Amino acid sequence: MSLNTIINAGLTRPSRPTTALVLMGGGARTAYQVGVLQALAAMLGLQGAPAAKFPFQVLVGTSAGALNAAYLAGAATTGLQAFEQLAQFWSRIRSSAVYEFKVSPLVRASKLLAALSLSRHARRHGALLDNMPLVDTLHHAVSLPGIEEALRTRTLDALAVTASSYTSGVHWTFCHTAHDETAPPWNRPGRRADFQPITIEHLMASSAIPFLFPATPLWVDGQREFFGDGSMRQISPLSPAIHLGAHKVLVVGVGQPQRSGFASAAPSGPARMPSLGNIAGHAMASVFHDTLQADVEQAQRISQTLRQLPREVAAVLPYRGVEVLALQPSQSLDAIAQAHLRELPVSVRNALSGLGGLRGGAGLSSYLLFEPGFVQTLVALGEQDAYARKAQLLAFFAGS
């Protein structure tokens, strides 16, 4: 986050204290966010009637985090029940509802043939898998009329999702408010915003994991551009929430400070050449997670500096401090995925194995494991991590 973002956001004074939820991307790994939010809803529900309202006014999502954000926006008028509804959605989801890899029974049983079929599909379609099942899933799950109702009733001030343009290289944030036509967009080097209604196409674009899912076309500036996962080139994940007026930001990522070590070196032996699985997992982690911690730390440093200014000086400056609380998994999601590899669809598991994508770790497969065992383990971990920080979470929402 840049000082320029803080300055420009500070020039806009929201009419009410605004709390934002920022949900980072990570494919199936974002089931962790469901556990965090489910625990948060239980905590707030015990605090009394005012807390029973939906606790966020701004929702910002990236990749699969955008799907979670849009689902919550569509259910926001139900208050804390929105989080339980999201949990119910994740309890029913399966890989077949997100993507497919159609092959014959003969190919499905052979690692080599499955890998060859996967590579041919990638050459034809620019991606390893077909995510068309996700279109149908989102049309049934995400209530677009519910989003409009939440904005109309001011339950929400804004919903924003991010996507990265393969065509121009620009990182876009698509924002939807009750008054899109009058909202001022922002334009920074390499990243821009546009105000327009969020559609299923926006969600497909934001969640198009590079190499795994194909690009999605969207219209921006009067021209058609092709978009992929919003985690790509996302140098400032907190920026949209600040631009949309947030005073407080709760951000839930799905990375971890130390990645699982299915790795390039044995515990007590010499380093060895990384496998395709190592490299793919490392690349995915870099795409999805590495900017979050730096952005959170920078936002906290800037806000701390503003709080230390003399009150009379701070009153005349066009700056607005922002309180940021970030949660990420306390355990390696790669390691958890390793224990659930058998849940992957057989054809996908064999194809990835045939390409070397499973040797040396489950980093790549962790983004594709939309199966009950993996999902429920992550939900439970999210709940556990949220309760471990219960005091901080309740303090964060106190007075909101």
Residues involved in catalysis: 63, 229
Q: Give the closest residue to 272 by CA, choosing from 282, 264, 261, 280.
A: 264
What's the token pair of residue 85? 């509804």
Whether 337 and 365 have beta carbons less than 8 Å apart is answered as yes
Task: Give the three-class secondary structure for 323.
Answer: strand
Alpha carbon of 6 to those of 62, 244, 329: distances in Å? 21, 11, 28
On whether the CB atoms of residues 255 and 292 are closer than 8 A, the answer is: yes
Q: Angle at CA 381, nearest 5°, toward 377 and 383?
A: 120
Q: Kindly give, in sequence order, each residue whose CB lies less than 8 Å from that of residue 22, ignoring residues fewer than 6 positions away.
A: 60, 61, 65, 237, 238, 240, 241, 249, 250, 251, 252
**Nearest-angstrom CA–CA distance, 274 and 366:** 18
What letter would DSSP give residue 273? P
Q: Which residues pair with 225 in a beta bridge?
A: 218
Place of tokens 């339950």: 155
Nearest to 251 by CA among 217, 214, 291: 291
How many other CB atoms are there within 10 angstroms of residue 197's CB atom?
A: 14
First vs last C-alpha separation in the chain = 23
Q: How far apart are CA 343 and CA 95, in angstroms?
A: 9
Exposed, middle or buried, 389 (CB in 10 Å: 0-12/13-18/19+)? middle
**DSSP character at residue 275:** P
Asked if 277 contacts 353 with a C-beta cutoff of 8 angstroms, the reply is no
Of the candidates 231, 33, 228, 213, the residue with the CA atom closest to the CA atom of residue 133: 213
- Helices 144-152 and 64-75: crossing angle in degrees, nearest 10, is 60
What CA–CA distance (Å, rounded) separates 125 from 299? 40
